[in-house]
Structure 1
Amino acid sequence: MSTDPSRSHCVVALLADIPTTGHLGDAQAERFTLKGDDLAARSAGFLDFSARHLAAGRKVIALYPQWHSEEAERAVQFARLSLGTDHIAGIDVDIAPLALSLMADQLAYLAPYLPSGLVASLVDELPQHMLSGGWMKSVSGLSTIPITLKQHVGSYLPTTTFLAFCTPVKRVGRVKDDNPAPNIPQRPMEPVQILVSAPEKVEHSDFNDQFIPSLGCQMAGGLPEQPLGWKYWGTTKYVEFVAFSAHPQALTHPVKSIRATPCLWCREPISAGVICRFCRGANQLPAGRPPKQGADVPAPPAKTTGEHIRPSWVAQQSSSADGRTQRPPARQGNTGTGPQSQSTDPADSTPPAPRS
């Protein structure tokens, strides 16, 4: 653990009725269900928690599900305004409850060892290293993951089984010939461990016999039903799972995958080219390091020849009758008489320093 006094540390909170998986032992995010008669009553626990840790010099990262965010957004805004601080970062996460519970505890485990901005950036990176989803007979009520009309109609057939994923990609596929292997987008690094959660009355023997062997899991654990699972999956008959690597160095790979740069406003290390989760300042990619080409990155413009970049006065040159060629118009500026004009070269100008 670093003893650098300039490094800011943080604590992690989860603003939803999402119990812990217990996978990381005592390293758990603080849970707040946000229940009460009014905003003050629902936010009281989180407000006291934030005030106590802010007084100790720690920042607060508050996670909440994107599909159940109304009360959590109000609580975060209420805490930031009441305490007059931007050291509380509210981050919405669009993944299933079981995966969100595991990720919140992973962040709580890493928080003492990493800067606050890097912990906040891991919210986008950690879901890419786990496989989470649901095993269902019907997706007609599923609204958090895109489905097709054919899948919606197929939900009314009695023998249909669907395998839906929310990480690392959002995808819904139909299990054919009792073989779910073609639907799996990727497998975590060996050894693979899986946590399973399902309502008490849901039979999931098919899931245990088909999906777990196809994933190659070495360890499996069962958990009670997540209270908000029905809201995410749109049904009460589902089996929710999250598979991840149980390798001792599994959490170091997501940290090394982040390309961190200091925020231009609060100097907190964040992922390059994103909005800081604390001060909400917009940042840009570092100069001299262009982004990688991908499906969501536009390609650079095609190179042009000199004919397309000639000054306008070149095209207007013409030879006179006595053979002399017209010269370009004189540049207005420092003529030696009168005041000198200021340079308009962008290289000579210095951008103003950002205000705190």
Structure 2
Amino acid sequence: MPTAIAVTSPDLVLPPTDPATPPAAVLPGPETRSLDAALADVQLLLDRHGHVVVVCPAAASPATEQRLHTVRALLESDRIAIVRTALPPLGAAVLVRQLRQLSGCDFSPGVLASAARLLTHYVYAGAVLGSVAKLDRVPVGLTSHVKGWLPGAQFGVLAGPVAELVRVGSGPDALTGPEFTTDLVLARGQLQSDWPATVLAPRWQVRAVQETALPESSPRWWGTPKLVEFAAHLADLPVLYQLVASVRRETCHWCRMELIGDRCGFCAAPLPAAEPPRATAPSPR
């Protein structure tokens, strides 16, 4: 069985790209699920899949994160990885779907967990906002905050891989896009705007545009319900596979799990710095 991919909210589960994409398990927070039930849920996943990779947004409540660590500690299991992501809700959902796609491949659980950090750099996540007055998760200038109160103002905001903000409809309003072929998924809130599909997608040379329901947490993350959220991403499994497979694999010095990058996805231990080469004593003449 493939490594189980679990999430902390149903918002993070997008429709599969194809019938072969494995589903994600939803682990409800402590406000709706007792600790005993949560322990049983995760134990069942471990029994069925061997390892579990849980994606937990950085914006999740402290109680949700604490629950995950409590479950892992009580089960005394080193087969549970808790992966944090700072991506906005729709971008995080795209990342989860990519991990679901890759979980059906021949990657080890350690490589799959640490691949999340790599894939994040290839997700262009943003939104069109009717106001940036309450936006506190993406750096914006004071002038933009003031203009955000003006009726009818709209802003294009990119949260990652780099933070950018432009005012839609006033001169150049291009956001820095990917230099590779992507698909675009968008979710509409209470803002009337086709800018992501009609302006951004052609400029970014997007291959296909798909719509989905707006995550429940998006208005809170972006500071306004007047938004259209979008995320450009790598959608083809062969491309995702090649991207992850091309990275050098290491073995974690702490838990011995396989990893890519500079940090273990299971125990979070950093990869030790390479030791400088030792000086060689001159040979006697």
TM-score, normalized by length of structure 1? 0.69
Task: Write out the 4+ residue segments of structure 1 that deviate beyond 6 Å after TM superposition.
Answer: none
Alignment of 1:186-335 (within 5 A): 186-187=177-178, 189-190=180-181, 192-199=182-189, 201-247=190-236, 249-274=238-263, 276-287=264-275
Q: Which has the larger radius of gyration?
A: 1
Q: CA deviation at 1:215?
A: 2.3
Counterpart amino acid of residue 252 in structure 1? Y
1:107 aligns with 99
Contact 1:194-1:241 at 8 Å conserved across structures: yes
Aligned length: 277
Q: Deviations over 1:138-197 (max 9, x none)?
A: 11111111111121112122343211112222222333536432x22x32522x321110
1:156 aligns with 2:149: yes
Q: What amino acid does structure 1 have at the position aligned with 2:225? A: T
How far the C-alpha of 1:71 sits from its partner, in A, is: 2.7
SS in 1 for 2:266: coil
2:22 match? 27
For 2:13 and 2:107, the matched residues in 1 are separated by: 22
- Write the letter of the residue equivalent to 1:107: L
Question: Residues 27, 288 of structure 1: CA spacing in aligned structure 2 closer, same or farther, 3 A cutoff?
Answer: farther
- In 1: Cα distance, 2:141 partner to 2:47 partner: 50
Deviates more, 1:46-55 or 1:223-232: 46-55
Which residue identity lines up with residue 154 of structure 2 in the other structure? T
Give the match's secondary structure for 1:91: strand
1:85-129 Cα distance to aligned partner (Å, 9 max, x none): 222111211001111112112112212421111111111111212
Measured after TM superposition, the shift of residue 45 of structure 1 is: 4.9
Residues 11/188 of structure 1: CA separation in 2 closer, same or farther (3 Å cut): farther
Contact 1:12 1:30 survives alignment (8 Å): yes
- What amino acid is aligned across from residue 196 of structure 1 in structure 2? L
Structure 2 CA distance for aligned equivalents of residues 60 and 138 of structure 1: 39
Q: Secondary structure at the match of 2:71?
A: helix
Q: Secondary structure at the match of 1:90?
A: strand
Using the TM superposition, name which of 236-245 and 162-171 deviates more.
162-171
2:66 aligned with 1:74, yes or no? yes
Indicate if the aligned counterparts of 2:30 and 2:67 stay in contact, CA closer than 8 A: no
Q: Distance in 2 between matches of 1:249 and 1:73?
A: 33
Partner SS state of residue 124, structure 1: helix
Aligned partners of 2:140 and 2:165 also within 8 Å? yes
The answer as to 2:47 corresponding to 1:47 is no
Q: Which ranges in structure 1 are unaligned for 5 or more consecutive residues?
A: 1-7, 290-344, 348-356
State whether residues 32 and 45 of structure 1, in contact with CA within 8 Å, keep that contact through their aligned partners in structure 2: no
TM-score normalised by L of structure 2: 0.85
| TM-aligned CA deviation for residue 36 of structure 1 | 3.3
Change in Cα spacing, 1:246 to 1:62, as seen in structure 2 (3 Å) is: closer
User: What is the 5 A alignment of 1:124-163?
Assistant: 124-163=117-156
State the Cα distance separating 1:18 from its structure 2 match: 1.2
Are 2:113 and 1:120 aligned? Answer: yes
2:271 and 2:236 mapped to 1: Cα distance? 34
Residues 16 and 65 in structure 1, CA contact (< 8 A), matched pair in contact too: no
Rate the CA distance shift 1:188–1:251 in 2: closer, same or farther, 3 A: farther
For 1:87 and 1:346, the matched residues in 2 are separated by 41
Bigger RCO of structures 1 and 2 (CA < 8 A, at least 6 apart): 2
Deviations 1:236-278 (A, max 9, x none): 000001112344532024304533210112211123432x332
1:337 maps to none
Contact 1:129–1:188 (Cα < 8 Å) also in 2: no
1:85 aligns with 2:73: no
| Structure 1 residues 28 and 230: CA distance shift in structure 2, 3 A | same
Mapped to 2, the partners of 1:247 and 1:108 lie a distance apart of: 12
CA distance in 1, matches of 2:49, 2:15: 27
Shift in CA distance, 282/252, structure 1 to aligned 2, threshold 3 Å: closer
SS at match of 1:232: helix
Amino acid of the structure 1 residue aligned with 2:259: I
What's the counterpart of residue 283 of structure 2? none
